[in-house]
Amino acid sequence: MLWRSVCAPYSLQLTAHCRVAHRATRKGLLRRGRSSIKDRSLTVMAAAATSDATKNQKIAIVTGANKGIGYEIARQLAQAGLRTVLTARNEELGREATKKVAEATAGSDAVQFMQLDIASPRSVDDFGRWAEQELPNVDILINNAGIAYKGNVFGAEEARTTMATNFAGTRAVCERLERLIPEGGRIVNVCSLAGKQSILRSPELRSRFENASSAEEVATLSEDFLQGLSSGSYGKEGWPGSMYGVSKLCEATYSRVLAEQLKPRGVAVYACCPGYVATDMSSFKGHKTPEQGADTPVWLALHAPSSGSGKFYSDRKEEPF
């Protein structure tokens, strides 16, 4: 079902005025014959859309926000007063996290949940359709969702899954939502210093990454890596033995390309590394807390100079990559 990703919103400060406005909006929607499932997804949004207090409130979307750094990013954005759409591929975990953020940020206006699996084209499209219909715009998009296999797992299939999430999934979300981002809006892609150009062993490959000027060129590079892995020739071709590193390099290169593309519209795009953070991904070994890991992505979303668009950041500082 198209609306299987039913929203589970948690409004923290729904005023009586909002509730009345919501009921009125809801009746209007029903009269226009929209589905009741979709109508349920409007619980907070309809109220928020009609409330003066929330009219000028910035809207942020965070992917992979049910745990780790993404959860912290969502919490900090909600705490900063943004209307925050917390997304996760697992609906139950996403709802639980949303409830936790709502409880932890009693001063913020609204946080709500929407299901989004960035590696599923259908999920990305459903989410995009929902956002188009229910959000006036998207001021901030934080692409945090990512995967890394643990231990010595290395293979063509695992590399394809890693790439489908970290690079292709992030690209799909950007391409689906980019039209909703107004002038002054920002996209922050949570990449990694493990995906710097220096991991490439061939100057030719480095120069291909350096000079890539379209998302398609980055996709071709990603496919070349996957083909090299399948045929076993990746090493001779200069690729490193890191599926995660190459996927994050593709993601960061795509961020630079996208920044150039969105420049005329006044939308900034940043890539960043959160540092080594104690989350599930690092088997909780990182030396930073998730709160510290969320610092640079949140700073980029709210405070970084827009002149830094297209650049890579770590610890709030520009980092050559």
Write out the residues near ligand NAP by the rule CB under 6 A: 63-64, 66-70, 88-90, 93, 116-119, 144-147, 165, 169, 190, 192, 273-274, 276-277, 279-282, 286
Q: Shortest gap between Cβ of 255 and ligand NAP (angstroms)?
A: 12
Per the document, the length of the chain is 321
Pairing outcome for strands 268-273 and 317-318:
unpaired
Q: Which two tokens stand for residue 131?
A: 């956002």
Nearer to ligand NAP, 68 or 240 (CB): 68
Nearest approach, Cβ of 44 to ligand NAP (angstroms)?
A: 22
Give the pair of three-digit tokens for residue 113: 């949940």
Instruction: Name the phi and psi angles at 312, rounded to 5.
Output: -110, 135
CB of 52 to ligand NAP, least distance (A): 34
Place of tokens 């190459």: 246
As a whole number of angstroms, the distance between CA 296 and CA 287 comes to 15
For residues 107 and 260, give the distance between their C-alpha atoms in angstroms, rounded to a whole number: 37
State the nearest-atom distance from the C-beta of 27 to ligand NAP, in Å: 35
Judged by CB, which is closer to ligand NAP: 89, or 176?
A: 89
Q: DSSP string of 295-312?
A: HHHHHHHHTS-GGGTT-E
Name the residues annotated as catalytic.
244
Minimum gap (Å) between residue 84 Cβ and ligand NAP: 15
CB of 189 to ligand NAP, least distance (A): 8
| Closer Cβ to ligand NAP, 146 or 228, answer by number | 146
DSSP 316: T
H runs (alpha helix) in the chain: 16-31, 36-40, 43-50, 52-55, 68-79, 91-104, 121-134, 156-163, 170-177, 203-211, 215-231, 243-262, 290-293, 295-302
Beta strands across the sheet bearing 110-115 = 8-11, 110-115, 83-88, 59-62, 140-143, 186-190, 268-273, 312-314, 317-318
The nearer residue to ligand NAP, 64 or 128, going by C-beta atoms, is 64
Nearest to 255 by CA among 218, 200, 204: 218
Nearer to ligand NAP, 266 or 284 (CB): 284
Rank residues 67 and 95 by Cβ distance to ligand NAP and give the closer one. 67
